[in-house]
Amino acid sequence: MSEKRKHQGSGAQGGDSKKKKKGQYFAPKGGRPGKDIPLGVQGFLLSCTQGREWQAGKEIVNVLEEAWEELTGKTSERKGKPAEGAAEGGGGVEAMLEEELGELRDTSKARFWRIDTGCKCLTFIKWTPEEGDPSPGQIVLHILEAAQKTKVTKTRNCSRIFPVEVTAYASLDKIKAAVAPLIERELPEGEDEPTFTFGIQYEYRANDSLDRKEVIDGIASMVPKRHKVDLNKADKTILVQIIKTTCTLSVLPRFRALARYNLQTLTDPKQGGDKGTQDAKPNPSAGEESKKGETGKQDAKPNPSAGEESKREETGKETPLLGET
């Protein structure tokens, strides 16, 4: 074999290696490719134990149904129990498939609908609200505060849960257009309106095409200057999450005080409330492997480039509040 052909052969192998490395964000070999999160919908984004995405979705749907009942005073006819063996992951495959097929036969009755994103440790729950229903943020706060108080998660495989107020195509223009109503509602302009401290949290999975600094600075420029930046205890955190071609957006109160919306940390008996969860670390066993380090100062001026650094493995990557050059 000539040297040229040998060189070409080694190049092909190198290409395959790169493809395999790039696929780490997606479902394991043999799993389903998943779908893109729909645009223009509300719902809930869930991080969970790797390989337990289906079970975690089933668990959290029941938790969401229960929270909906408690907030509305109504009785849900849609709440069910996980398929036998599903929680343990043994002997429950046929039951899981049968239950999923049953749901597919009549999706019109689903208030909370699981969507397989195809990303490891990540599940999206699409929500179809009824008139008078609480917002996704109100439902998640109800779940988190109850978990913090009782130290009971009611779920085995779920880690972090985020409300999604709106989804948009993952481009700067579309993101800014989608987040504008949220900023107007949560961080209003006007001297008669209350003022808040705020931060911006940017995370991405299976898509690194956007310039995170441009996104963060673009959103920060839309916030009225009367609202100040607080890197340690922001009243409200604008959460921007890029998953494949979709961006999910929400404004989260007490992001740090509620352990970054991590159910496992909130129910840890060693955590004694808001003070104990200020700098809580994500639970590595639930697909939250990360390295975190704080930067910036608390007395930062409005809309600066400062924040908290972290790198996220497997589930995606997380970048600083308000960005850092």
> pLDDT digits over 59-89, tens only?
999 999 999 999 999 887 655 544 333 334 4
Number of domains in the chain: 2
Residue 289 has pLDDT above 60, yes or no: no
The CATH number of the domain holding residue 305 is 3.30.2300.10
- Pick from 169, 91, 137: nearest CA to 237: 137
- Domain with 313, as residue range(s), is 167-260+272-319
Token pair in block for residue 290: 């990360």
Q: Tell me how far apart the alpha carbons of residues 41 and 167 are, in angstroms, rounded to a whole number.
A: 6
> Locate tokens 């107020």: which residue?
165
- Pick from 174, 55, 54, 65: nearest CA to 117: 54
Q: Tell me how far apart the alpha carbons of residues 184 and 301 are, in angstroms, rounded to a whole number.
A: 21
- pTM given for the model: 0.71
Average pLDDT value over all residues in the chain: 76
Q: Tell me how far apart the alpha carbons of residues 293 and 64 are, in angstroms, rounded to a whole number.
A: 32
* Model pLDDT, residue 34: 65
Q: Is residue 116 part of a domain?
A: yes
Whether residue 124 sits in one domain with residue 226: no
* Range with lowest mean pLDDT among 51-65, 96-110, 241-255: 96-110
Residue 139 has pLDDT above 70, yes or no: yes
Whether residue 172 sits in one domain with residue 310: yes
Whether residue 119 sits in one domain with residue 199: no
Token pair in block for residue 84: 């036998």
Instruction: Report the Cα 170 to chain-centroid distance in Å.
Output: 15
Q: Tell me how far apart the alpha carbons of residues 160 and 158 are, in angstroms, rounded to a whole number.
A: 6
SS3 242: strand
Whether residue 221 sits in one domain with residue 243: yes
Residue 251 has pLDDT above 60, yes or no: yes
